[in-house]
Amino acid sequence: MTRVALRGLLGRKVRAALTALAVVFGVAMISGTFVLTDTIDRAFETLFTEVYEGTDIVITGVQAFETDFSQPPPFRASLLEEVRALDGVDVAIGGIQDFAQLTDRDGEPIRSGGAPTFGFGIGGSEPRFNPLVLTSGDWAAGPREVVIDAATAEEHGFGVGDTIGVRARGPVKEFRIVGTARFGNVDSIGGATAAYFDVPTAQRLFEKEGQLDGIQIAIEPGASSAAVIEQIERILPERTQALTGTEQAEDETSTIEEFTSFIQTFLLAFGGIALFVGAFVIFNTLSITVTQRTREFATLRTLGASRRQVLGSVVVEALVIGLLASVVGLFAGLGLAIGLNEVFVAFGVDLPSTDTVLAARTVVVGLIVGTAVTVIAGIVPAVRATRVPPISAVREGAVLPKGRLARLAPVVAAAVAIVGLALILLAMFAGGLGTTEILVLIGVGVVALFIGIALVSAKLVEPLAHAVGWIFVRVGGTSGRLARQNATRNPARTAATAGALMIGLALVTFVAVLASGLTRSIGDAIDDQLATDFVAVSETGFTPFEPGLDRVLRGRSDVLSVSPVRGENVMAELGAGAEAQLTGVDPESIPDVYRFEWVDGTDETVRRLARDEAILESEFATDHGLSVGDALRIQSPSGRFVQVAVRGIHRAPPFWQMLGDLSVPTDLFDEIIDNPRNLYTFIRAEGGASGSTAAALTDVVESSFPGIELESQAGFIERNEDQIGRFVLLLYVLLALSVIVSLFGIINTLVLSVFERTRELGMLRAIGMTRRQARRMIRHESIITALIGASIGMPLGIVLAAIVTTRLSSEGLSFVVPWPTLVVFVAASVLAGIVAAVVPARRAARLNVLNALHYE
């Protein structure tokens, strides 16, 4: 029976290949995800290993707690001489690490797409500590000299002797390029740029005179690292630590792995969606082929094959298809990893890379998942094959008998859909659930809901086919009428075919509706809070920037008000401690540009805010039982403590809150936060945003502060809405894979349908149907099937978005249905049907009439 199954599979190579493609795409996505993230991990691991390869011990600052954008605090530079005097220390050098924005030849910022713009102070005289390899020139050794990374030099046409602009703590300064360098053997550090100075220059540039960010130590031959570290710990200042070079490399690598783990989970979700859609395609294809092979199975039963052997033959087919498809998908993932990286680059996320990594885990997971999905999807068709009675071998037009539980199928399908919906509602609205529990409930609920809807949809096929097919009857005449009848001939088959597309369109619609709600909510929230002419933000819109711009703008006569908003996370001593966002504001100017909705206080409360006083956002105050007059102790990431008195409470839009949980005067903020940076700078100017001052201010910002962008209030809203749009476009690109898989499902079904109706098509041709009419009939059938999927999937996506929006409505999320976008989706469904019908329609039109009439 195994030989029979394999020979039968070879005899149906085209159908097997079309079935396998659904698995190939899903496994390729999984394989590509693992390859991409493993390659990124290897790049960083190599990078950090090379950075500390010649280092035995590293001294760095330590944050009191981790935050997104703050750096470990610097420490006194005099520690370096104390370390050098210790027993067992051979060589020790200090270094600086910060951020520096480079400019191109036109003075425009060299954009990193959100990647870091590193600035380093290094000692080129000790090559054992230097992970860099000079590709040209020499190391920086003077106050106006810089070495830049080779990738930036090549991309922007810089060479040794050229001048480049660098912005650190103030306006741009000019430096002469004396060399270019790269990190060891790492091909790329993504979109990051790097500028290397000598240590004294870096200390001045980053305002760290008398300070260092790190010390690298090489111990004497035969000395013990543990013994040296023990001596170092006796002289370490507060908030510093000493680790071995290996430990420091592992610590920095683990931080990066948290980021790549998120990317991996994010992309694997889309691989899972593609495989889930592929399972529908496999199930439908194998179901059709089992039905078409009724007489073949009956003959085998007549010749003595048992039900178990028939079951085994179909499972073997599924196993072989799944295994071969998984192997192809596994290696296709190598190419897809490159494509995924290019997608991220196109969306402004350039990730470091090195030689491609194909781990054993990738191979095992890809093969097991792809094969398992195929076999599981083939179990039901295989069981159906065992129900073929031997008498069917001599019957013309014999069909598979229905199972004993077939009449309960609609009830079971409805129950599965209801359970799925209940799990989603439980995850959304039940209290006390953790993040993992919520995600699991949503995942299982969505899968159950899709399966249940797909099974129930067989009952909807006939009314939906009549609803969407009338236009094809009007336009296509007889061909359109036959197409509509063909779509309803086997409702279960049509439903399963449309079900694959239904899933993709449901998810795309869900994203579109949610994105529309996000976009409106962002615009409304910003409009409710701001009353300013201009907003200065970093090029990414979310990374903080140095406040040097504030000083320059305050010196201009055409600027009426400059109100910076600094930002950092702190710990508030509330019971066990609670992380909170702290913002630093200018008490005098902030009421002129920000609309406070006061719960307790007035704008004058802010204007009179003393250095050790704060205003709170109402939700934070309520959650922690705080009111005006209470005292609150907070700790900065560098470990400094300060106590503030609550002087006012205001309510901010929960969805897009521009001020933090606590707001204090900038004087206090700058005192407790190392390297204070702005989230925004609000500016009021003569003539407003449309006045002549706008061009002058834009010129100042662009020429002196590259990497900072000036927007009107309307432009700032549009900028944030565009960022949502770019992310949604990324989701569309990733979801497109599942839609492509569903197209192969439609192609598969139509090809098999043409094969199944060979004699029927021959009869139609014999009584006068033209080749063009045959093509039109198949094409219309494909479009009707696609529209059935759209008419189920799109409302389902809207319902899912409505559930999520209802849950988050208290956070300010609006429910907005983007009707123009949904019309585009309908048009795309029609186009998908046309594309899917190309091959089957040509096959139907080319049938030889005589051969078709006596076909068996």
Q: Could you give the CA distance from residue 621 to residue 616 in angstroms, rounded to a whole number? A: 6
Tell me what percent of the residues of the chain surpass a pLDDT of 70.
Answer: 89
Q: What's the pLDDT score for residue 66?
A: 74
Arithmetic mean of pLDDT over the chain:
84
Average pLDDT over residues 18-41: 82
- Tell me whether residue 194 is exposed, middle or buried, using C-beta atoms within 10 angstroms of its C-beta: 0 to 12, 13 to 18, 19 or more: buried
* Of residues 417, 414, 415, 445, the one with CA closest to residue 429: 445
Q: What's the pLDDT score for residue 320?
A: 85
Average pLDDT over residues 485-496: 83
| 57 touches 229 (CB < 8 A) | yes
The phi and psi torsions of 73 (rounded to 5 degrees) equal -70, 145
Q: Which amino acid appears at position 442 of this protein? A: I
* Helix runs in 293-306, H state only: 294-302
> Any residues with CB less than 8 A from the CB of 350 and at least 6 apart, and which?
112, 113, 115, 188, 190, 191, 192, 344
Q: Could you give the CA distance from residue 40 to residue 264 in angstroms, rounded to a whole number? A: 11
Greater pLDDT, 261 or 409: 261
Q: Is the pLDDT of residue 780 over 70?
A: yes
* Of residues 836, 837, 721, 731, the one with CA closest to residue 774: 837
Q: Is the pLDDT of residue 393 over 60?
A: no
Q: Is the pLDDT of residue 420 over 80?
A: yes
Condensed to tens digits (0 to 9), the pLDDT of residues 656-673 reads 889 999 999 999 999 999
Eight-state DSSP code of residue 809: G
Q: What's the pLDDT score for residue 620?
A: 92
Angstrom distances, CA of residue 724 to CA of 179, 432, 505, 523, 584:
40, 30, 20, 11, 27
Q: What's the pLDDT score for residue 35?
A: 87
Report residue 47 as tokens: 């990078």
Residue 84, CA atoms < 13 Å, CB-side half-sphere:
10
E strand residue ranges, 574-661:
578-585, 597-600, 613-617, 631-635, 641-651
The phi and psi torsions of 182 (rounded to 5 degrees) equal -135, 165
Q: What's the pLDDT score for residue 435?
A: 73
Report residue 769 as tokens: 């149907």
Condensed to tens digits (0 to 9), the pLDDT of residues 687-729 reads 777 767 788 888 888 888 888 889 988 889 888 888 888 888 8
Average pLDDT over residues 155-173: 90
Report CA dihedral (664, 668, 672, 674) to the nearest 10 degrees.
90
Give the distance from CA 406 to its chain's centroid: 42
* Of residues 287, 330, 306, 349, the one with CA closest to residue 113: 349
Greater pLDDT, 246 or 43: 246
At residue 10 the predicted structure's pLDDT band, cuts being 50, 70 and 90, is low
* Helix runs in 659-770, H state only: 666-672, 693-704, 713-756, 758-766
Report residue 587 as tokens: 């008490």
Average pLDDT over residues 70-75: 84
Q: Which of 58-72, 204-218, 388-402 has the highest mean pLDDT?
A: 204-218
Average pLDDT over residues 304-318: 79
DSSP secondary structure, 101-133, as one string: EEB-TTS-B---TTS-EEEEE--TT-GGG--EE
DSSP secondary structure, 241-254, as one string: EEEEHHHHHHHHHH
At residue 352 the predicted structure's pLDDT band, cuts being 50, 70 and 90, is low
Q: Which of 78-87, 439-448, 468-477 has the highest mean pLDDT?
A: 78-87
| 757 touches 841 (CB < 8 A) | no
Q: Is the pLDDT of residue 615 over 90?
A: yes
Q: Is the pLDDT of residue 360 over 70?
A: yes
Q: Is the pLDDT of residue 109 over 80?
A: yes
- pTM of the full predicted structure? 0.81
Q: Could you give the CA distance from residue 841 to residue 531 in angstroms, rounded to a whole number? A: 61
Q: What's the pLDDT score for residue 691?
A: 67
DSSP secondary structure, 395-418, as one string: -TT--PPPPTTGGGHHHHHHHHHH
Q: Is the pLDDT of residue 164 over 80?
A: yes
Q: Is the pLDDT of residue 499 over 80?
A: yes
Q: What's the pLDDT score for residue 565?
A: 95
